[in-house]
Amino acid sequence: MNTNQNFKSGFVTIIGRPNVGKSTLINNILKEKLLITSSKPQTTRNTIRLIYTDDEMQLIFLDTPGIHKPKTKLGTYMSNSAENTLREVDGIVYMVEPEEKIGPGDRYIMEKLKTIDTPKILVINKIDQYPKEQLLSVIENYSQDDIFDEIIPISAANGDGVDLLLDILKEKMPQGPKYFPEDMIIDQSERFIVQELIREKLLRTLRDEIPHGIAVEVTSMKVREDSELYDIEATIFCEKKSHKGIVIGKKGGMLKKIGTDARKDLEFFLKQPVNLQLWVKVRPDWRDKSYDLKDLGYHD
């Protein structure tokens, strides 16, 4: 139990368009690879709670799917999951890139934020990739609507500005208890993280038109009694038979590469050797079928 009367705690949602760097930011804050990152949009599919704790505060970050106009039932689930968190938190971090013109996707989100009476911090990410003059212009553009309490330029990839963001969040949070044990950093099971790490390798390795039609289900995780070896079995689901062939690759080469890359991350995460077995199956149009979405873990 926390005895510090000045201790602060609160729930913070990080929102923004897909692929803006939300998961990279949280991985940097927690100094741990817990969320998958990819150059492809809509990488995050579930709302995940991640916990940052120090001597003076505990922040529970909600890593949500990017807010976007959905095209499938999975897309609707993802976008609703992100929007539903906005009125339930103690702070909102809205992340954008330093683009001089505010596009329709960001305008769509900003209109929603105008109606919400919660501390809102604008984080301008990837500042290491843009000239300073452009950054100043972006800050001026976003300041005109008077929506945000603070505007902070950062680089989620190299950590610039992240400590300042944590300091400002501490100022905005109410006094409160430790909701989670101080050594807990994620509210998901090991199985979930294993599935996500495998899915990341699929996103990074496969061609652009395939990854969003792919899901991963871990069917077995167990440590051998006579050793520390972790046996993990997982199934990769594709929407089309042609996709299955691409995932497997010529003479199984693509699947072997995905498995080898995933095993390295799994061994780092689990801190023990891993024997990973992957299978590929076709599950037609699963992103638009309520039963399949629920079966694969995408439900309210």
CATH number at residue 239: 3.30.300.20
Asked if 110 and 22 sit in the same domain, the reply is yes
Say yes or no to pLDDT of 204 above 70: yes
- Out of 63-72, 121-130, 138-147, 174-183, which region has the weakest mean confidence (pLDDT)? 63-72
- The answer to whether 65 and 226 are in contact (CB under 8 A) is no
For 217, the 3-state DSSP assignment is strand
Say yes or no to pLDDT of 130 above 70: yes
Determine, yes or no, domain membership for 97: yes
Residue 8: per-residue pLDDT: 95
Highest mean predicted confidence (pLDDT) among 75-84, 156-165, 213-222: 156-165
| Per-position DSSP letters for 33-52, written without gaps between them | --S---SSS----S-EEEEE
Q: Residue 117 belongs to what domain range?
A: 8-172
Domain boundary pick from 172, 201, 218 = 172
Residue 262: per-residue pLDDT: 92
Under the banding of pLDDT at 50, 70 and 90, the label for residue 133 is confident
Residue 293: per-residue pLDDT: 56
CB atoms within 10 A of CB 111: 11
Give the residue from 296, 64, 30, 20 showing the smallest Cα distance to 184: 30
pLDDT average, residue stretch 101-118 = 86
- Out of 12-21, 81-90, 104-113, which region has the weakest mean confidence (pLDDT)? 81-90
Angle at alpha carbon of residue 80, lines to 115 and 116, rounded to 5°: 15
Determine, yes or no, domain membership for 185: no
Residue 180: per-residue pLDDT: 86
Asked if 121 and 23 sit in the same domain, the reply is yes
Determine, yes or no, domain membership for 266: yes
What is the edge-to-edge ordering of all strands in the sheet holding 214-223? 214-223, 230-238, 274-282
For strands 214-223 and 230-238, give the pairing. Answer: antiparallel
Asked if 50 and 96 sit in the same domain, the reply is yes
Determine, yes or no, domain membership for 3: no
Q: Residue 267 contacts by C-beta under 8 Å, 6 or more apart in sequence?
A: 273, 274
Asked if 129 and 220 sit in the same domain, the reply is no
Asked if 162 and 78 sit in the same domain, the reply is yes
Say yes or no to pLDDT of 45 above 50: no
Asked if 201 and 158 sit in the same domain, the reply is no
**Two tokens, residue 22:** 């939300």
pLDDT digits (tens, 9 = 90+) for 162-179: 999 999 999 999 999 898
Alpha carbon 104 to its chain centroid, in Å, reads 22
Say yes or no to pLDDT of 105 above 60: yes
Asked if 31 and 159 sit in the same domain, the reply is yes
Determine, yes or no, domain membership for 225: yes
CB atoms within 10 A of CB 214: 20
Asked if 66 and 155 sit in the same domain, the reply is yes
**CA gap 63, 70 in Å, rounded:** 18
- The answer to whether 94 and 16 are in contact (CB under 8 A) is yes
The radius of gyration of the chain from alpha carbons, rounded to an integer in Å, stands at: 20
Say yes or no to pLDDT of 70 above 70: no
Say yes or no to pLDDT of 153 above 60: yes
**Two tokens, residue 202:** 């699929």
Burial 78-93 (b: 16+ CB within 10 A, else e): bbebbbebbeebbbbb
pLDDT digits (tens, 9 = 90+) for 21-39: 888 898 889 877 655 444 4
Place of tokens 């807010």: 67
CATH number at residue 66: 3.40.50.300
Residue 242: per-residue pLDDT: 85
Residue 220: per-residue pLDDT: 92
**Two tokens, residue 237:** 């689901």
Asked if 93 and 198 sit in the same domain, the reply is no
Asked if 145 and 68 sit in the same domain, the reply is yes
Under the banding of pLDDT at 50, 70 and 90, the label for residue 99 is confident
The total number of structural domains in the chain stands at 2
Give the residue from 61, 45, 19, 62 showing the smallest Cα distance to 299: 45
- The answer to whether 254 and 248 are in contact (CB under 8 A) is yes
Determine, yes or no, domain membership for 106: yes
